[in-house]
Chains A and B, each alone.
Chain A
């Protein structure tokens, strides 16, 4: 079965530090990949997505992610985090061979301190 692994449960960074959150998935077929963000007390919102083409995807608020097919990875990055980036981040994968649900990772909580 498809699975998504997010390696870090909780990451604490100072403002202006660089961020990289790991995400690996298990499915070997054609997939679409997503990162969602959930700010405190809010619902999940799409941060960025990869369907095809350039494996380096740019999203909102300065976030980007790189799809490395050989490593089954889709890591999220941001060069300089802000206090307002404090949130939980979820990686998700969908298998394109059928209309199946998005599979989510367990999430990584990011705390940015001043």
Chain B
């Protein structure tokens, strides 16, 4: 299994530009999560989807952030316009609905390191 795949791995952009981060979850996983990690705030849950439907986006910091999941194998996190305080590592993770021994276990992607100048 290829695992959770994220792109790009690194992104450097200027303030005001649009940023799009991409995620391909593990095949068969019906939950997808977007997290942000910074030194100051640690690991924060931004939004999560179940069967492609957003379930809870209360962690999305503001309207500049949006996320979509058009199908079971692809999700995007968009920041428009980007600001320097958005600089962080963004992780995507996926899992299956509670079932057997894998109940609740999250599988993380390698992350996308975003730097906004």
**A contacts, CB < 8 Å to B:** 32, 34, 36, 42-46, 49, 51, 90, 92, 94, 96, 99, 101-102, 104, 106-107
Contacts and interface: CB of A to CB of B under 8 A. Distances in A.
Interface stretch (B20-28, B62-70, B75-83, B96-104): B96-104
B23 to A, nearest CB: 12
Given A34-B105, A92-B106, 8 more contacts: A32-B103, A34-B104, A44-B43, A94-B104, A99-B97, A102-B104, A102-B106, A104-B42
Contacts of B56: 101
B45 A107 contact: no
Contacts of B42: 104, 106-107
11 contacts: A32-B103, A36-B106, A43-B108, A43-B111, A44-B43, A45-B108, A92-B106, A99-B50, A99-B97, A104-B45, A106-B43
Interface of B: 31, 33, 42-43, 45, 48, 50, 56, 91, 93, 97-98, 101, 103-106, 108-111
B105 A46 contact: yes
Nearest to B103: A32
Residue of A46, A49, A94, A102 contacting most chain B CB atoms (<10 Å): A102
A35 B45 CA distance: 17
Contacts of A32: 103-104
Given A51-B101, A94-B104, A101-B48, A44 B91 contact: yes
A96 B91 CA distance: 24
Nearest to B50: A99
